[in-house]
């Protein structure tokens, strides 16, 4: 088993480091992650400029590759031939915050896994439902153990190149977690606010800020599972077609002349 490990928080993020040792017990791990934080950048593919790639080391000395490109670029570069050995599975994470509901369209963590699926390789995104306000460094160890357990079970099944899983893990010790639930995307509630400021030259500039998002804890959803201390596994697909709306649109008898 050859696993490509990436993330959207940068190659030196603690969530990525936490996965290295557990995944090394499963197979060969190649680390290829961006040089900076790309959180909430969505599915980016760099086409308008050259990409630079260079070797680096994680905090524990583990060798890795990094690039000035996006998380999706890391996966694309690896699968297009920069990594010569065939890759069996792409894992993205561990993101320090949950990626649930509408977050998925923003999440570079999830979109890196999607890039793998587009290329015909299974992709899994791991995120941690950490506290909104925390002063101490996050403990990724329990989530990394959960990730290892789930990956082992996944690879024991027949490989599905269209497999795209978004996995969110409750924060805290393993004893707190009540199990696993297969979920659907829930509803995220955003409280975004626009802040207008003035720079020293008198020019206006803007920040998109606001309070932390919440969600609707409807049973069966990813938000609900986390609220009940379950690990949430949401199967996704690349097809964004609203199939239930097609017949209605056909009834409009749309014409162009």
pLDDT tens column, 68-125 = 999 999 999 999 999 999 999 999 999 999 999 999 999 999 999 999 999 999 999 9
Assess whether pLDDT exceeds 90 at residue 16: yes
CB contact at 8 A, 23 and 91: yes
Residue 6 within any structural domain of the chain: yes
Give the chain's domain count: 1
Residue 182 within any structural domain of the chain: yes
CB contact at 8 A, 186 and 224: yes
CB contact at 8 A, 128 and 50: no
Residue 59 within any structural domain of the chain: yes
Q: Which domain holds residue 53?
A: 2-187+216-250
The count of residues in the chain is 257
Lowest mean pLDDT among 18-22, 74-78, 190-194: 190-194
Residue 43 within any structural domain of the chain: yes
Q: Can you tell me whether residue 99 is helix, strand or coil?
A: coil
- How many degrees, rounded to 5, is the angle at CA 88 between CA 85 and CA 90? 105
Residue matched to tokens 């509408």? 102
CB contact at 8 A, 20 and 32: no
Residue 201 within any structural domain of the chain: no
How distant, in Å, are the alpha carbons of 26, 126, 131, 179, 227 from that of 176? 25, 18, 15, 9, 12
Residue 203 within any structural domain of the chain: no
This prediction has a pTM of: 0.94
pLDDT at 136: 86
Residue 192 within any structural domain of the chain: no
Pick from 164, 144, 155: nearest CA to 231: 144
Assess whether pLDDT exceeds 80 at residue 134: no
Residue 35 within any structural domain of the chain: yes
Domain of 73, CATH number, reads 3.40.1210.10
Name every residue whose Cβ is closer than 8 Å to that of residue 52 and which is 6 or more positions away in sequence.
67, 68
Rounded-to-integer distance, Cα 91 and Cα 34, Å: 14
Other C-beta atoms lying within 10 Å of the C-beta of residue 98: 24
pLDDT at 24: 97
Local confidence band at 209 (pLDDT 50, 70, 90 cut-offs): confident
Local confidence band at 160 (pLDDT 50, 70, 90 cut-offs): confident
């Amino acid at each position: 088993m050859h696993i490509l490990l990436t993330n959207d928080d940068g190659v030196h993020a603690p969530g990525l480091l936490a996965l290295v040792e557990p995944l090394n017990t499963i197979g060969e791990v190649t680390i290829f992650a961006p040089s900076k934080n790309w959180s909430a950048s969505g599915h980016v593919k760099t086409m308008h400029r050259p990409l630079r790639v260079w070797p680096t080391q994680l905090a524990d000395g583990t060798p890795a590759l990094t690039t000035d490109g996006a998380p999706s670029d890391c996966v694309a570069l690896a699968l297009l031939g920069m990594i010569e050995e065939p890759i069996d599975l792409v894992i993205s994470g561990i993101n320090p915050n949950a990626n649930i509901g509408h977050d998925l369209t923003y999440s570079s963590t999830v979109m890196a896994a999607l890039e793998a699926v587009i290329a015909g390789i299974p992709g899994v995104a791991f995120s941690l439902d950490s506290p909104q306000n925390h002063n101490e460094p996050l403990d990724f160890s329990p989530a990394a153990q959960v990730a290892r357990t789930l990956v082992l079970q996944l690879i024991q099944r027949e490989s599905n190149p269209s497999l795209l899983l978004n996995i969110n893990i409750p924060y805290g010790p393993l004893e707190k977690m009540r199990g696993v639930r297969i979920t659907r995307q829930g509803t995220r509630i955003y409280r975004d606010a626009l802040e207008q400021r003035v720079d020293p030259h008198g020019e206006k500039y803007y920040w998109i800020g606001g309070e932390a998002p919440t969600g609707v804890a409807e049973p069966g959803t990813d938000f609900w599972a986390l609220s009940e201390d379950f690990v949430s596994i949401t199967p996704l697909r690349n097809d964004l077609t609203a199939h239930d709306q097609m017949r209605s649109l056909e009834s409009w008898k749309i014409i162009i002349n």
